[in-house]
Each structure stands twice: as C-alpha cells, then as structure tokens.
C-alpha cells in the first residue's frame, strides 16, 4: 500500500528497526515550568534551550524516539519554536526518530497546512511522525495521511487516551454498535493493510487503561485478570505502532504492557517523560535512567512479540 517517494523508507519500517536495536522507549521532551525549576533553570527561553539541548545531547544516540510536546515550546512564542526546530534537527541528525506531539486536527486546506509544517522535508519542524486528532472525522486527516505516506513519515492518531475526559467521546457508541475508538482503530488497520514489517499509521493508546481495552465484557474481564493473553485486545491489531503514554507518573508500569496490549505489546512504543527527565540535568543520570527504562520495557514486551 506504500506510495512513498522512491528511496524513502516508510516510518513504520524505521521505527521497527529503532525499537529492535535501541529498545522500545520514546522519551518525552516536556519542559514545563516545574521541571525547568527542578533542573535549576529559569522559566525562560534560555532555560528552555539548555533543557532541550541537554536531553538531546544525552540521549539522541541511544533512544528509539523523542516526543517533544510542542505546547511547552510554543508558550515562548517564536523564540521557543526556534528552540524546538533546533532540537528536532539535532535529534534526527543523531539517529533518534522524532514524534512531534502537537495533536493537530482540522479540515481541508488547514489540515494540509499542518502537514506542510510537520511532514514536509523542507520545513524546519520536519518530524518523523506527528500526533493528530481524528475528532472532526477520520476522513479529515486525509491530507496528513497522504503527505505522511508520500514522505515516509507516520501519524499517531488519538484513539484511547488515558485522560478520564476522553471516555465521553472515545467510548461513545455509534449507530452501528461500534465505539468511536474502535472505528478509529479500524480505519488505521485499513491504512496499514499489507505493510511490512510495520505500518506507519499508529494509535495513541494509554498504558493505564487496562480492561477498558477489551471489546466485550468477557474479553475485558480476561484482560483485567491477565487471562487470554494470546491475542491482542479487540481492535489493537492494527498492523501499526501503538504510542502508549501513562508509564511512570501516571501509574502504569512496564509489567502492565502484556496484560493491557496482549500480543500487540510487541508493537507498543511506550512514552516516558518524567520517569527519565527527573534525573537531569546530569547527562549520565539521564542516560542511566533511559537505559533502565528501555531494558525493563524490552523485557516486558519480549514475552509477547508482535508478528514481525
């Protein structure tokens, strides 16, 4: 199904290799004010730049991916965005994939402009993948889907997020009896059909959700009790990556991954921010923390390897 430009390796293939060689860990770059303060940095552009540069220099040659949260850079205006641009370029140059956490979502030419901003190789914010929101209808993402496929990039689409407010939309049931989240996952499975070793269009699925991932009462109870681990929870077999926030500060652990995701755990890219970043500003401490997390995560998902 891939129609990427000749010579452009799809994001899914690049991510699969990165997770297999570097470990399944995505480190969030979330320079919120309290973390800057904990590092002894000012809540200003200078502190922002020192923070981002330290994280990238310490980890870009060893983690599979970074997930910079665009909002924490945007809050400083154009100077903050300039810091983000440099961080993205330096991370990619050192071999890490960059998943821009911007959660963009709109229609028509506006969605196409967001794709230009983050998925065009000539853009200073060009990233390997982008988080997007499907809640104007999955079809509204078509400009970003097409651009990502053409440029060898990926998307992570919000599907089953860990925030409690998300349930009122994501768990809502359509007239056909399928939940909104299940519909999003089904669309992603179609976009990834036939791709090997891994499709480029992933879902954001919270690692804290547990039994909520079951497609029926019976499967939910099985997942909640650690039973029936031979198959992924209903809908998660999308042949694409699953970006999983929630490990660490939000309460999930590496050991939860097989229970929550079943055999799909092998395609999970856990995202950890505070669990690694709290060990800064020491570069060595950041590296040690990332190595520990990657080792624990790799051990957890190895019990349920995805079809590769």
Residues forming the active site: 103
From the centroid of its chain, how far is CA 217? Answer: 28
Tally of CB atoms within 10 A around 249: 12
What sign results for the dihedral spanned by CA atoms 123, 125, 126, 131? negative
Rounded distance, CA 154 to CA 152, Å? 7
First to last CA, the chain: 17
Tally of CB atoms within 10 A around 127: 27
DSSP β-bridge partners for residue 157: 132, 203
Tally of CB atoms within 10 A around 106: 17
């Amino acid at each position: 199904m891939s129609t990427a430009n000749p010579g452009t390796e799809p994001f899914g293939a690049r991510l699969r290799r990165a997770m297999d060689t570097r470990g399944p860990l995505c480190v969030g770059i979330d320079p919120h004010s309290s973390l800057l303060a904990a590092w002894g940095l000012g809540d200003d552009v200078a502190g922002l730049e020192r923070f981002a540069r330290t994280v990238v220099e310490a980890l870009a040659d060893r983690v599979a991916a970074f997930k910079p949260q665009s909002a924490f850079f945007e809050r400083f205006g154009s100077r903050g965005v300039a810091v983000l641009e440099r961080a993205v370029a330096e991370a990619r140059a050192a071999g890490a994939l960059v998943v821009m956490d911007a959660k963009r979502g709109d229609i028509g030419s506006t969605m196409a402009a967001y794709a230009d901003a983050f998925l065009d190789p000539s853009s200073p914010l060009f990233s390997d993948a982008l988080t997007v929101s499907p809640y104007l209808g999955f079809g509204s993402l078509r400009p970003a889907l097409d651009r990502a496929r053409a440029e060898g990039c990926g998307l992570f689409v919000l599907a089953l997020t860990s925030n409690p407010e998300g349930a009122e939309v994501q768990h809502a049931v359509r007239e056909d009896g399928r939940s909104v989240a299940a519909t999003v996952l089904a669309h992603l499975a179609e976009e990834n059909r036939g791709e090997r070793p891994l499709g480029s269009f992933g879902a954001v699925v919270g690692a804290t959700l547990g039994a909520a991932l079951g497609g029926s009462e019976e499967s939910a109870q099985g997942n909640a009790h650690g039973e029936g681990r031979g198959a992924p929870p209903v809908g998660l077999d999308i042949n694409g990556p699953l970006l999983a926030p929630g490990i660490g500060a939000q309460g999930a652990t590496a050991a939860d991954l097989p229970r929550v995701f079943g055999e799909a755990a092998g395609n999970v890219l856990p995202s950890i921010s505070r669990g690694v970043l709290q060990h800064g500003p020491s570069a060595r401490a950041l590296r040690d923390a990332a190595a520990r997390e990657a080792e624990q995560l790799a051990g957890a998902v190895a019990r349920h390897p995805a079809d590769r």
